[in-house]
Amino acid sequence: MKKLTVALSLLTSVCLHAQKFDGLALTPPMGWNSWNTFQTKIDEKLVQQTADIIVSTGMKDAGYTYIVLDDGWMTRDRDKEGNLIPDPEKFPHGIKALADYIHSKGLKFGLYNCAGTLTCAGYPGTRGYEYQDARNYAAWDVDYLKFDWCSSDGQNAKESYTTMSKALKKAGRPIIFSLCEWGQNKPWEWAAPVGQLWRATGDIGAIYDTVKKTNGWNPLSVMNIVDIEADIRKYAGPDHWNDPDMLEVGNGMKLGEDRTHFSMWCMLAAPLMMGNDLRKMTEQTHNILTDKDAVAIDQDALGIQALRYSKSGGLETWFKPLSDGGWAVCFLNRANNAQKITFNWKGENVVDDIYKKQLNAASTTYSIKNIWTKKDEGTTAKAFEGEVPAHDVIFLRLSKK
Ligand code: GLA
| 184-231 pLDDT per residue, tens | 999 999 999 999 999 999 999 999 998 767 767 789 999 999 999 999
What type of residue is 8?
L
Provide the pLDDT confidence category of residue 66 given band limits of 50, 70 and 90.
very high
Whole-number Å distance between alpha carbons of 155 and 62? 39
Ligand 1, pocket residues at CB < 6 Å: 35, 70-71, 112, 119-121, 148, 180, 203
pTM, rounded to two decimals: 0.95
* Domain(s) of CATH 2.60.40.1180: residues in the chain: 307-400
> In this prediction, what percent of the chain has a pLDDT beyond 90?
93
Q: How far is CA 92 from CA 45, 73, 320, in A?
A: 10, 11, 46
Q: Is 15's pLDDT higher than 50?
A: no
Torsion of CA 72, 196, 297, 401, to 10 degrees: -170
Q: How far is CA 48 from CA 28, 275, 318, in A?
A: 24, 15, 38
Give me the residues paired with residue 350 across strands.
359
CB atoms within 10 A of CB 103: 14
Give me the residues paired with residue 308 across strands.
318
* Residue of 254, 234, 253, 252 lying closest to 242 (CA atoms): 234
Give me the residues paired with residue 394 across strands.
331
Specify the 3-state DSSP secondary structure of 268.
Answer: coil
Whole-number Å distance between alpha carbons of 125 and 113? 6
Ligand 1, atom nearest to 146 Cα: 10
Tell me how long the chain is. Answer: 401
- Closest residue by CA, ligand 1 atom 3: 203
The residue ranking higher by pLDDT, 232 or 9, is: 232
Q: Which of 70, 182, 218, 246 to mutate to test the pocket of ligand 1 (most atoms within 8 A of CB)?
A: 70
Q: How far is the CA of 120 from the centre of ligand 1 (A)?
A: 6
- Closest residue by CA, ligand 1 atom 12: 120
Q: Is 7's pLDDT higher than 80?
A: no
Mean pLDDT of 374-391: 98
| Residue 167 and residue 134 in contact, taking contact as beta carbons nearer than 8 Å | yes
CB neighbour list of residue 101: distance below 8 Å, 6 or more residues apart: 48, 51
Q: How many Cα atoms sit within 13 Å of 272 on the Cβ side?
A: 29
* Residue of 236, 210, 230, 234 lying closest to 221 (CA atoms): 210
Edge-to-edge strand order for the sheet containing 307-312?
307-312, 315-321, 327-333, 392-400, 366-370, 376-379
Whole-number Å distance between alpha carbons of 51 and 59? 10
Ligand 1, atom nearest to 246 Cα: 9
Whole-number Å distance between alpha carbons of 64 and 150? 28
Q: How far is the CA of 97 from the centre of ligand 1 (A)?
A: 25
Whole-number Å distance between alpha carbons of 270 and 294? 12
Going by their DSSP bridges, the two strands 108-114 and 66-68 should be labelled as parallel
DSSP code of residue 105:
T
CB neighbour list of residue 14: distance below 8 Å, 6 or more residues apart: none
CATH topology of domain 307-400: Immunoglobulin-like (2.60.40)
Whole-number Å distance between alpha carbons of 306 and 290? 20
Specify the 3-state DSSP secondary structure of 67.
Answer: strand
Q: Is 156's pLDDT higher than 60?
A: yes
Alpha helices, H only, 231-299: 255-267, 283-289, 292-298
Query: pLDDT tens across 139-151, in order?
Result: 999 999 999 999 9
Ligand 1, atom nearest to 120 Cα: 12
241 sits in which H/E element: strand 241-243
Instruction: Verify whether residue 293 is a known catalytic residue.
Output: no
CB atoms within 10 A of CB 78: 16
Q: How far is the CA of 150 from the centre of ligand 1 (A)?
A: 9
Ligand 1, atom nearest to 199 Cα: 8
* Average pLDDT value over all residues in the chain: 95
- Closest residue by CA, ligand 1 atom 6: 71
pLDDT score of 243: 99
pLDDT score of 401: 85
Supply the angle between the helices 157-171 and 130-139 in degrees, to the nearest 10. Answer: 40
Q: Is 6's pLDDT higher than 90?
A: no
Instruction: Verify whether residue 77 is a known catalytic residue.
Output: no
Ligand 1, atom nearest to 245 Cα: 9
- Closest residue by CA, ligand 1 atom 9: 203
| Residue 150 and residue 114 in contact, taking contact as beta carbons nearer than 8 Å | yes
Whole-number Å distance between alpha carbons of 43 and 89? 8
* Domain(s) of CATH 3.20.20.70: residues in the chain: 18-298
Provide the pLDDT confidence category of residue 18 given band limits of 50, 70 and 90.
low
* Residue of 66, 284, 304 lying closest to 175 (CA atoms): 66
Which one of 43, 133, 148, 258 is the catalytic residue?
148
| Residue 186 and residue 192 in contact, taking contact as beta carbons nearer than 8 Å | no
Query: pLDDT tens across 322-340, in order?
Result: 999 999 999 999 999 999 9
Whole-number Å distance between alpha carbons of 399 and 368? 7
- Closest residue by CA, ligand 1 atom 11: 120
Mean pLDDT of 168-193: 98
Q: How far is the CA of 317 from the centre of ligand 1 (A)?
A: 31
CATH topology of domain 18-298: TIM Barrel (3.20.20)
Query: pLDDT tens across 69-112, in order?
Result: 999 999 999 999 999 999 999 999 999 999 999 999 999 999 99
- Closest residue by CA, ligand 1 atom 1: 120
